[in-house]
């Protein structure tokens, strides 16, 4: 473990979180978004990778954001190892550019989308979401991205398309963890089409106003805040539109433990532990886990006909 003495902390070490908070407060104080673009340039002097032009989006939470060092230092990204510190330590070998995402399957307009084309498809938004890991911890993360539906509309799904399958990069040269058969690589995940089109579901390209750090799934990932974290696939290289429910990497590995839906649900326990409570990273006492991670008002109607115990 690295211990940093107070004397070692230089005043120039302003974290992206502090910059982000300052920018948001300034935007609020100024009472207008028109100023945001101009401020972005000044902020850029501190942090080179600033994503300019993102604006506050809907569905925000007022809960305290998890500090930058935890959001980027305590991660699950098995392609870089299974310890929480492994992704931050090893994800430097990931090359997020050049990068293309292949859109394939049951769409009228399949194709390879360059990451920069993808970034320009819709206005970027700041979305502060609660995130709940299936292991029982949670964070509040200010993502930057846009609704995945913006891309879906663009590629025009066929009437037969009912599910989406996401696939993560599978390159041993960039991802040392792929040497270990923890999962049947590549990492894949899936969503039902209506879930993928839900306005909460993001195609995320950043956090805290910065380009997505490698350990968080650079350069582009999915974010589905009412489901357990593993549904939010990182560093994706393809999105396939299919007719049948895809089998995710976690379902293959442990079908009794990980279902396709994996909606956050305090009343349906994991095969080996309770899901009633969670520990917000940075807090000591556990808090109660909320149905659909607190997003029930927005998403519950999608599951009105579903037995949540059976379809966990
Ligand atoms: N490709 C890939 N995506 C992944 C994972 C992974 O191991 N590989 N872990 C998942 C899990 S279990 C969680 S909790 C979240 C963590 O995202 P974060 O590190 O950005 O908070 O990523 C998810 N996406
Ligand atoms: Mo997770």
Q: Which fold does the domain 6-303 belong to in CATH? A: Sulfite Oxidase; Chain A, domain 2 (3.90.420)
Which atom of ligand 1 is found nearest the CA of 75? Answer: 19
Closest C-alpha residue for ligand 1 atom 12: 230
Cβ pair 191, 299 in contact under 8 A: no
pLDDT score of 49: 62
Q: Is 248 in the pocket of ligand 1 (CB under 6 A)?
A: no
Q: For residue 154, what pLDDT is reported?
A: 98
Query: How big is the CA angle at 223 (ends 26 and 147), to the nearest 5 degrees?
Result: 70
| DSSP H or E stretch at residue 221 | strand 221-223
Helix (H) or strand (E) holding 239: strand 236-242
Closest ligand to C-alpha of residue 78 is 1
DSSP state of 289: P
Q: Which two tokens stand for residue 75?
A: 């991660």
C-alpha to C-alpha distances, 111 to 20, 105, 151, 156, 205, nearest whole angstrom: 35, 10, 12, 12, 20
Structure-token pair, residue 198: 């839900």
E strand segments, 42-183: 55-56, 100-105, 111-114, 125-132, 137-147, 163-168
Domain ranges of the chain: 6-303
Q: For 135-163, write each residue's pLDDT tens digit.
A: 999 999 999 999 999 999 999 999 999 99
- Regions in the chain scoring below 50 on pLDDT: 1-9, 11, 31-48
Q: Which of 280, 282, 143 is nearest to 216 (CA)?
A: 143
Residue nearest to atom 21 of ligand 1 (CA): 75
Pocket test for ligand 1, best of 83, 135, 145, 229 (most atoms within 8 A of CB): 229
pLDDT score recorded for residue 18: 86
- Residue having the nearest C-alpha atom to atom 15 of ligand 1: 229
């Amino acid at each position: 473990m690295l211990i940093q003495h107070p004397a070692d902390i230089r005043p120039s070490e302003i974290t992206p979180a502090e910059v982000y908070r300052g920018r948001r407060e300034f935007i609020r104080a100024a009472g207008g978004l028109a100023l945001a673009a101009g401020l972005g340039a000044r902020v850029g002097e501190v942090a080179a990778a600033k994503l300019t032009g993102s604006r506050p989006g809907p569905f925000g939470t007022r809960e305290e954001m998890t500090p930058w060092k935890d959001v980027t230092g305590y991660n699950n990204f098995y392609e870089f190892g299974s310890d929480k510190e492994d992704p931050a330590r090893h994800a430097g070998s990931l090359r997020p550019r050049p990068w293309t995402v292949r859109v394939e399957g049951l769409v009228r307009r399949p194709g390879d989308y360059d990451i920069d084309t993808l970034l320009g498809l819709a206005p970027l938004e700041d979305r502060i979401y609660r995130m709940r890991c299936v292991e029982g911890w949670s964070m509040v993360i200010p993502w930057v991205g846009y609704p995945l539906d913006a891309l879906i509309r663009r590629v025009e799904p066929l009437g037969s398309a009912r599910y989406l399958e996401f696939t993560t990069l599978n390159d041993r040269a960039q991802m040392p963890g792929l040497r270990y058969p923890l999962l049947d690589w590549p990492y894949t995940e899936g969503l039902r089409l209506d879930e993928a089109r839900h306005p909460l579901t993001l195609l995320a390209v950043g956090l805290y106003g910065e380009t997505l750090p490698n350990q968080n799934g650079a350069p582009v990932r999915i974010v589905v805040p009412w489901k357990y974290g593993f549904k939010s696939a990182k560093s994706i290289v393809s999105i396939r539109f299919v007719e049948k429910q895809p089998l995710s990497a976690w379902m293959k590995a442990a079908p009794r433990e990980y279902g396709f839906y994996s909606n956050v649900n305090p009343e349906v326990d994991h095969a080996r532990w309770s899901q009633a409570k969670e520990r917000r990273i940075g807090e000591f006492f556990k808090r109660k886990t909320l149905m659909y991670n607190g997003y029930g008002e927005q998403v519950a109607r999608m599951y009105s006909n579903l037995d949540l115990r059976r379809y966990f």
